[in-house]
Structure 1
Amino acid sequence: MAPGSGKTKVKTGCRTCKARKVKCDEGWPSCRRCLSTGRICEGYGIWGGGEKHRHPTSAVHSTKHSEIVIFAPTPIETANKDESRCLEWFTHRSAFKLPGVFRFEFWDKLVFQAASTEPAVRHAILALGSAHKREGRVSLIPALDITPDKEEQFTLQQYSKAITYLQPHFSSRENSSVRVGLLTCLIFVILEFIRGRYKTAITHLQSGLKLLDESQARSDDVESYSLFSEPCRDSVDAWIIQAFIRLDVQTKLMGQGSHYLNFIREDRTPEIPTHGFAFQSIHQARQHLDRLLGQILYLSHEYRSQARRRAKIYLNSYLLRQRRIEAKLGVLFPAFKILRENQIVERVSTSNVAFTLLHIYYLLAGIMLDTCLRPTDQLRYDAHTKSFLAIMDQMRLLAYITSSTVLYKVLHLPNMSSTISDLGAFPPLFYLVTKCRVSWIRHAALDFLKRLPHNEGIWTGRMISSIAEEVVKIEEGDFYEGVAATDEASFCSASDKLEVLQPVLPESYRIHDVKIELPEDYAGTVTLRCTRGLEDSNEEVITRDFVYNESAQRWVIKGRKV
């Protein structure tokens, strides 16, 4: 249906019935209307089905709970040479780079299959590919008085077309329309992150999460609707939901976004056996970790919300939920370590990068879980010094692996930005800098953070390192003036007796809440808001406004000389 045609009705059914303009009974894998007339049923596009799936070499395998659909590459039609060139870039650059080291079928199969049949998805990936190609070669600050260049115009045109083709799907409650809407929404979020339109990206993400939440409510009554199946299923719906969970966790780690996706609450997931649990793959380990992080973040959010409203808090209930998550982490982390030990993985490989990142996030999850019900008790983080050190050890390993000549060529293709859409090193490094009060450890993490040139979805390297540096300055102030610097060797030789090496930063210096208010784009202002307790039980709120300095290529305090 062409934009502006005036028709808004979405016709469902197999391709054959839609081409014949007759009502389809939507039988699976082939509709009975086609079979009864001897015609070949061409299936339901990216959602599978069709005569070809009845062959013994079928790509659809029935299981007890769901169908596993494996797609073959499908040619994608484009209208002109500009679209063809952009599609080629997306196929060989964007779709390879953006997922990072945790590739899965959403990028390798679903996006391309959807783009081959759904115009909304096709134009969305063209807009994404165009923005990704343009990133890094133009000014980050939009000029208000200058017409967008040719590439930006192309991006906006494709963006507009995607929205136009998406409109009919909004009025339909069919599962296929929901999936198209969710897919397109995911692409829009990543597109806006790349363009530096943070607030717009979060708005898109919230819209998608809300649609997921509504779909979850409907799925309780519709047995065949599998969007909210358990993790680790290999299906279209599982790929979509996993992509949303990854973006959701990524934004929540920065304190952004809403708290939809209620299905990741710990009381909605099946219990994990305490004995004999094992991961079958690194992908399965990542799926479980994402859900675990989501549960921790939700528990923390709910507890803090109650505390802010000064509502009655049933602490025992929260502690019980905390212990349940702790039990899961107690099972998952050993299973992850066994998987890592048993896998034959080359030391310099993307698989080892993925394993190292997972190790870091499991360590991070343990700290977050232990402290999530103690939002103002900043001394509690001192009990996790060994975990902070372990995170830094894994960060050094990560730096060693990724700096190798062979892997560098794989991870950093020429003439392309280093942006990825998935989780990487930024969230744990930022957490370490802001929560570890062992001065030399946090400063080592800060130096590490400042050397990272790339972006990870909402986590922009230049922005987050500037904010982290300012947090340290606010907290430490003049406390360590005149105190000799402590190096790593002396710390390790002191058997972790930290108080012998450096004075402990008093609680009165520590910030118990760090909030980041993101701008609409690089022309806007980033606001850092910190809260620190005072001796009279009151609180001090400290704010800093950052603006982007293009000549210095970093975010600086507004009014402060560079």
Structure 2
Amino acid sequence: MCDARIRKVKCDEGKPECDRCTQTGRKCDGYLPEVLWPRVKRPFSSAHDASERRALQFFFEATGPFLSGPMDSYFWTHLAMQFSDFQPAVRHSLISISSLYEQVRYDSQSEPLLKDNKFALLHYNTAIRELRAVDSEPLVLLVCILFICIEFLQGNRQAAFQHCKHGILILKTVETAYPWAREYLAPMFRRLNMVPLFFGVDLGTFPRVTELDDPFPNHFTSIAHAQFYLDDIMNRTIHLARYSDMRAVEGRSPERDPVPPEYLAEQRSLKWALDGWDLRFQELISKSPPSPDLAKTYYHLVLRYLVAQVWVSTAFQNNETIYDEHIEKFRFAIDESARVDVGVGMSLASSRDQPKFSFEIGFLPLLYFIVMKCRCLATRIRALALMRSLGIARENFWESSSLWLAGRRIIELEHGITLAENGEPCDSAVDWTALPPDRLRIRTISTDPKTRIRTYENGDVVPGILADFFMRNPDGKIYVHSEFLPKVAGSRPIADSGRLPIMPTNIKPHGE
């Protein structure tokens, strides 16, 4: 593979060096050895028996295409499947994923456990055993992604984060030496690198994926090319936002406790990077509008870019009213997200074919951020509705129904209203123009993923989740308002006085 292809620029096949590289002043590394994968003569020929063949068939037809969410599915539908034909560790991992996903397909509200699925457990243990004999670091990295997926499916955060940490450390030595790993695996780890930071992992305890040292190309050549660079920008942005949130919850103001200059420099650099990315992205779209099959990917990129802009612009500002300066941006983000054709998804709402889980982060947490931070009532209610129509039941560790409950309660607390089960105000006499004062605004929220049970005064036994709302009192200090949010229609939230306040280091920066 020529270096031009690594940069997602069409190689002109010039020998011994590609003219595309030499004409732009780059050193062409020549034609690096390709990874040669044996061609699959018979589908699933590596399967040992009918149960393995069935699991691989199910993965190929009903699992792999959905794991990528709005991202390109090539890794799951092609790369992993090709490797499974001649690498046992990959094959056994895919069989385990397939079996666990099939459980989720029939019950998206539960997290399947290996101890309850002997077939999946057997193949996961076999994959671990086979991996010990693998001496190829890129292959270990690929299997690491599959192991992370298995832990995502089970809702096992600590194991998933440990695999992620291990993979990032391997990536640092693999990325530059193996072009195919840089092209297909590195972007996935850049996106994975963000996940632990959403769930309370301390910045200082988790390694960072090496940032791209490539300067922006003059032009983006495809949606995938644009995504490659936005992945890097988003990863940097989440680290900045996480640090900013920690400062805010700890009550550290820029006036009393100046922001370290390296973080302010990173903020300026990210603003420049986002502007440069958008300039090239708009040029790409004006010349090559996305095809219908790429529409969801396109609108997801637009949403990621707009949310990143808000994150970077509002960093190190302790006043929640700073988000009011971005209301028009929030409106535009929701307008663009609403353009996604959800006709197919809505028609499959009661079908087993509806995706129940995705490995990648989709629309759900991005829309949830807008519900949290946009105080325009009409816009945040639209965002709440889109969480249901665009979100998948589970997007790695984000669970759709719990996020929706938390988002609805945030709106109710800040605006002093009650929302019905469809997310619309119960009272017709609502002031749609009023913005809640800063003292009523929720800084962040932390939810417990476990389903809890509460007995109401009328004797009803109700399942639900526990949520901590971090708010600021008149003295400017942060306090925690805890509630039980019921999952049963018609039941109302109740105060939960039995919860202990969560320490700042365990706070999820933008909710769960």
Residue 20 (structure 2) aligns with = none
Residue 103 (structure 1) aligns with = 72
Match of 1:287, as an amino acid?
F
CA deviation map 1:190-236 (0-9, x unaligned): 23333xx32x1x2233223322343366x3xxxxxx4257xxx9513
CA distance in 1, matches of 2:326, 2:92: 47
For the 8 Å contact 1:466–1:556, the answer to whether it is kept is no
CA distance in 1, matches of 2:213, 2:105: 44
CA shift for structure 1 position 65: 8.6
CA shift for structure 1 position 433: 0.5
CA shift for structure 1 position 104: 5.0
Residue 5 (structure 2) aligns with = none
CA shift for structure 1 position 529: 2.0
Match of 2:319, as an amino acid?
D
CA distance in 2, matches of 1:478, 1:344: 42
* Aligned counterpart for 2:304 among listed residues 361, 365, 373: 361
For the 8 Å contact 2:70–2:300, the answer to whether it is kept is no
CA deviation map 1:231-261 (0-9, x unaligned): xx95134322222222333554x44556434
CA distance in 2, matches of 1:326, 1:143: 41
CA distance in 1, matches of 2:491, 2:53: 37
For the 8 Å contact 1:72–1:109, the answer to whether it is kept is no
Relative to 1, partners in 2 of residues 1:454 and 1:68: Cα closer, same or farther, differing over 3 Å? same
CA distance in 2, matches of 1:305, 1:559: 26
Residue 130 (structure 1) aligns with = 99
CA distance in 2, matches of 1:66, 1:521: 55
CA distance in 2, matches of 1:188, 1:161: 12
Residue 227 (structure 1) aligns with = 175
CA shift for structure 1 position 436: 0.4
- Please list, as runs of the form range in 1=range in 2, the aligned pairs for 1:162-201 lying within 5 A after superposition: 162-167=127-132, 174=135, 176=136, 178-194=137-153, 197-198=154-155, 200=156
User: Identical aligned pairs, as a percentage?
Assistant: 19
- Please list, as runs of the form range in 1=range in 2, the aligned pairs for 1:56-75 lying within 5 A after superposition: 63-64=29-30, 67-69=33-35, 71=37, 73-74=39-40
Residue 366 (structure 2) aligns with = 428
Matched, 1:318 2:263: yes
CA deviation map 1:422-444 (0-9, x unaligned): 23221221011000011111122
CA shift for structure 1 position 133: 2.1
CA deviation map 1:317-363 (0-9, x unaligned): 322210111001010012111112211544xx221221111111111
Residue 19 (structure 2) aligns with = none
Residue 42 (structure 1) aligns with = none
Match of 2:367, as an amino acid?
L
Residue 208 (structure 2) aligns with = 262
Residue 541 (structure 1) aligns with = 480
Secondary structure of 1:278's match?
coil
Structure 1: gaps of 5 or more residues:
1-61, 220-225, 487-500
For the 8 Å contact 2:190–2:209, the answer to whether it is kept is no
Residue 206 (structure 1) aligns with = 161
CA shift for structure 1 position 547: 6.6
Relative to 1, partners in 2 of residues 1:98 and 1:390: Cα closer, same or farther, differing over 3 Å? same
* Aligned counterpart for 2:397 among listed residues 417, 442, 458: 458
Match of 1:91, as an amino acid?
F
* Aligned counterpart for 1:402 among listed residues 324, 331, 342: 342
For the 8 Å contact 1:101–1:350, the answer to whether it is kept is no
* Aligned counterpart for 2:332 among listed residues 375, 387, 390: 390
CA shift for structure 1 position 535: 1.1
Match of 2:165, as an amino acid?
K
Match of 1:205, as an amino acid?
A
Q: Please tell me whether Structure 1 or Structure 2 has the larger radius of gyration of its CA atoms.
A: 1
CA distance in 1, matches of 2:32, 2:451: 41
Relative to 1, partners in 2 of residues 1:87 and 1:328: Cα closer, same or farther, differing over 3 Å? same
Match of 2:339, as an amino acid?
L
Matched, 1:519 2:431: no
Secondary structure of 2:445's match?
strand
Matched, 1:372 2:310: no
Structure 2: gaps of 5 or more residues:
1-27, 419-424, 454-461, 497-512
Residue 413 (structure 2) aligns with = 474
Secondary structure of 2:302's match?
helix
Secondary structure of 1:544's match?
strand
Secondary structure of 1:120's match?
helix
For the 8 Å contact 1:446–1:468, the answer to whether it is kept is yes
CA distance in 1, matches of 2:312, 2:339: 25
Relative to 1, partners in 2 of residues 1:361 and 1:65: Cα closer, same or farther, differing over 3 Å? farther
Relative to 1, partners in 2 of residues 1:453 and 1:314: Cα closer, same or farther, differing over 3 Å? closer
Relative to 1, partners in 2 of residues 1:473 and 1:78: Cα closer, same or farther, differing over 3 Å? same
CA deviation map 1:114-145 (0-9, x unaligned): 3223322211100111122232324845899x
Alpha-carbon RMSD across the aligned residues, in angstroms, is 3.8
For the 8 Å contact 1:216–1:227, the answer to whether it is kept is yes
Secondary structure of 2:475's match?
coil
